[in-house]
Structure 1
Amino acid sequence: MAGRFAPRPTRTTVRGGHVVVPSGVPRQAEEPGLVRTWVPGWPVDLGLVLGPLRRGPGDPTFRAMPDGSVWRACRTPGGPGTLRVSVRGGGEVRGEAWGPGGAWLLERLPELLGAADEPEAFVPRHRVVAVARHRRPGLRLTRTGLVLESLIPSVLEQKVTTDEAYRAWRLLVRRFGEPAPGPAAVVAGRLWVMPGARAWALIPSWEWHRAGVDDKRASTILRAVRVARRLEEAVLMSPEGARERLEVVPGVGPWTSAEVVQRSHGAADAVTVGDLHLPGIVGWVLAGDRDADDSVMLELLEPYAGQRHRAARLILLSGRGPGRRAPRMPVGDIGRL
């Protein structure tokens, strides 16, 4: 549910994190990689589960394909890796992976698709939430087990429009990352693995400027990558403990830490506070109050304690919300200054 700006259809996280994954188109022959098959005990909706990991329709690390598969390029503890996930007849999930990080990605495939989530613990307290849940039976919370890949784009999204944040992520990853291993360039279009911590640290100031990233956000990222190892260790901690560790980094506050653990930990209760529009959406849907602030939002979500993030996602996925009554936030361009 990232975003300090108006909801837009292309912002998958604002509307609950749902990527439209087409189906039914035959795929081309591919370079063989490591393979894992897995049959979960629930319907898997790749668009719903993996949607929050995509940073805009042009994300160079993520691709939803016409054949229904989803491709991800990641920097894992084992190195760069590419993962292709598809769902076959009978609900069987097939994961294929390439690169030094491929085995790591396949080992964690079930958690990526929500195996560690407990949606049965959620009890709807409002009709609109119950209906949204009924219409989205494949909603489960992903757990990537990776911190930096969620932290850096979340910092880029602080206090700017979606277009600005997505553009910065796209430019920086393509310029300083590396091509994803495996056949992605042929089959899925060019995918990129995001830069490693050292590569982020060595990005010159003028390149941040060219990507439209101000000094404050760039400095936050540079401080974070200097302690990247300690931040990645936070995946072994509880979501609350991980947030405390993240917020030790100057420039990382409650909004950013919540956005990270929602993805890295699958944190069902990490509701995003400090967001420009989320309180108004929750307030409007649950109480008809478009002017709700964080305190009102938290009060309305109190019946969902322990599951507040899931409740907020279902509210966003309901498609309801107050109408616009102000112009869109203007897009800045520090590269022209």
Structure 2
Amino acid sequence: MTVPPTPARSGPAARADAEAEWDVAGHYALGSTLSVLQRGAHDPCARVGDSLAWLCFGTEAGPASLRLSAVPRPAAAPGCPSTTVRIQGWGPGARLAVASAPALLGERDDWSGFDESGFAETLPRMASEARRAHPGVRLPSTGRVFDSLVPAILEQKVTTIEARHAWRYLARKFGTPAPGPAPEGMRIPPGPHALRRIGSWDWHAARVDLSRRTTILRAAESAAGIDRLGALRLEEDPGRRLQGIPGIGPWTTAEVLQRTHGDPDSVSVGDYHLAAYVGYALTGRKTDDAGMLDLLRPWSGHRQRVVRMIGLSGFRKPAFGPRLAPEDHRGR
């Protein structure tokens, strides 16, 4: 049951601007569910732990800081776990942020088809074992397409180190302080207007090349339309519309929809590591995108769930050669 968000009561024990609770029947893992929303250990806009998370973002009503804490409840019967997630919001956008929190936490995500015995028996062993070890994982649906799009563009064709640096630099310098008692240093990410005002030197300092910068600025010009895609169902193909913006292709779209719509089937085709990772995990050999899609075809409809379970299994592919060196765009 979801309790509608209400203005917080006055007094020392209730300082939030809005709050609610979400009761979850069955297993629930807050940290594993929300970890995909955090861009590295030092993300200024998200801090996700096993049972406590802070997310800071803008809403139509203004900025909001969201505190999410998961508390297991006593089991009503043996083998029947349940969890209550306390949702607290601060800032002008607190009520909207709190109202959207259950979907963000994975309320709409349905694993029943994946867990059905006939389907589960077809899964690779590492995926089925990971699912047994992580029964509380869900796919989040933030609904905030532009917010997910900018960091995904920053991750295009660069190392993770480079992308994380760019996101931290832009969020810290051009974001705004998070409202309420958010941890020190947390920021509201820069919105489309702030991004359009960033000068060329700061793009260089963030080590963002001209191609990614141009794509972000194109997206900023269409931000209102992009955010309306968050209200579309997956069957309405929001990804096709997103790819109408030059510079946004299948990889970026998949990375966005995994977070904004909890897409259980999207696969990040074009990823530098993913195809080889899946290939080694399922066959012991490296493969390409076409080979990865062929390997995942038996689980169509749940391919992203399979990829998530392989990741949670702890599998690591063999490492060959040195890491890519970060590029420095500041002198260009």
- One fold, TM greater than 0.5? yes
Contact residue 30 and residue 137 of structure 2 kept, 8 A: no
Distance in 2 between residues matched to 1:280 and 1:207, nearest whole Å: 34
Distance in 2 between residues matched to 1:64 and 1:126, nearest whole Å: 29
Contact residue 35 and residue 48 of structure 2 kept, 8 A: no
Pair 1:279-2:275 in alignment: yes
1:114-193 matches, within 5 Å, as 114-122=106-114, 123-124=119-120, 125-184=123-182, 188-193=183-188
Distance in 2 between residues matched to 1:80 and 1:114, nearest whole Å: 22
Distance in 2 between residues matched to 1:65 and 1:45, nearest whole Å: 10
The match for 1:87 among 70, 77, 95 is: 70
1:242-295 CA-partner distances (Å, limit 9, x unpaired)? 1111111111110001000100000001111001111111111111222x0111
Q: Partner residue of 1:248?
A: 244
Which ranges in structure 1 are unaligned for 5 or more consecutive residues? 1-27
Contact residue 31 and residue 49 of structure 2 kept, 8 A: no
Distance in 2 between residues matched to 1:132 and 1:326, nearest whole Å: 29
Contact residue 64 and residue 93 of structure 2 kept, 8 A: yes
1:300 deviates by 0.7
Give the 3 Å change call, closer, same or farther, for CA 175–30 of structure 1 in structure 2.
farther
1:184-204 CA-partner distances (Å, limit 9, x unpaired)? 1xxx22210011211111111
Q: Partner residue of 2:211?
A: 216
1:65 deviates by 5.8
Q: Partner residue of 1:307?
A: 302
Q: Partner residue of 2:4?
A: none
Distance in 1 between residues matched to 2:148 and 2:72, nearest whole Å: 32
Which ranges in structure 2 are unaligned for 5 or more consecutive residues? 1-11, 74-82
Pair 1:38-2:22 in alignment: yes
Higher relative contact order (CA 8 A, sep 6+): 1
Contact residue 255 and residue 274 of structure 1 kept, 8 A: yes
Task: Provide the aligned C-alpha RMSD in A.
Answer: 1.6
SS class of match (1:44): coil
Distance in 2 between residues matched to 1:311 and 1:48, nearest whole Å: 15
Contact residue 261 and residue 267 of structure 1 kept, 8 A: yes
1:64-106 CA-partner distances (Å, limit 9, x unpaired)? 369x411010112222111000012402110000112111111
Distance in 2 between residues matched to 1:44 and 1:89, nearest whole Å: 9
Distance in 2 between residues matched to 1:96 and 1:204, nearest whole Å: 36
1:202-235 CA-partner distances (Å, limit 9, x unpaired)? 1111110111001100000000010001111111
1:114-161 CA-partner distances (Å, limit 9, x unpaired)? 110011111332211110111111110000010011100000011111
Pair 1:105-2:97 in alignment: yes
Distance in 1 between residues matched to 2:209 and 2:218, nearest whole Å: 14
Contact residue 210 and residue 335 of structure 1 kept, 8 A: yes
Distance in 2 between residues matched to 1:197 and 1:299, nearest whole Å: 38
User: Which amino acid in 1 is paired with 2:42?
Assistant: G
SS class of match (2:184): coil
Distance in 2 between residues matched to 1:271 and 1:210, nearest whole Å: 32
SS class of match (1:213): coil
The match for 1:261 among 257, 263, 278 is: 257
SS class of match (1:255): helix
Q: Partner residue of 1:69?
A: 52
1:38 deviates by 1.7
Q: TM-score, normalised by structure 1?
A: 0.87
1:47 deviates by 1.1
User: Which amino acid in 1 is paired with 2:143?
Assistant: G
SS class of match (1:94): strand
1:30-81 CA-partner distances (Å, limit 9, x unpaired)? 8433110121112221111100000011100012369x41101011222211
Pair 1:53-2:37 in alignment: yes
Contact residue 30 and residue 183 of structure 1 kept, 8 A: no
The match for 1:78 among 61, 85, 89 is: 61
Contact residue 57 and residue 189 of structure 2 kept, 8 A: yes
1:29 deviates by 7.7
1:318-333 matches, within 5 Å, as 318-333=313-328
Contact residue 31 and residue 183 of structure 1 kept, 8 A: no
Give the 3 Å change call, closer, same or farther, for CA 218–139 of structure 1 in structure 2.
same
User: Which amino acid in 2 is paired with 1:288?
Assistant: G
SS class of match (2:24): coil
Distance in 1 between residues matched to 2:249 and 2:164, nearest whole Å: 20
Number of corresponding residues: 305
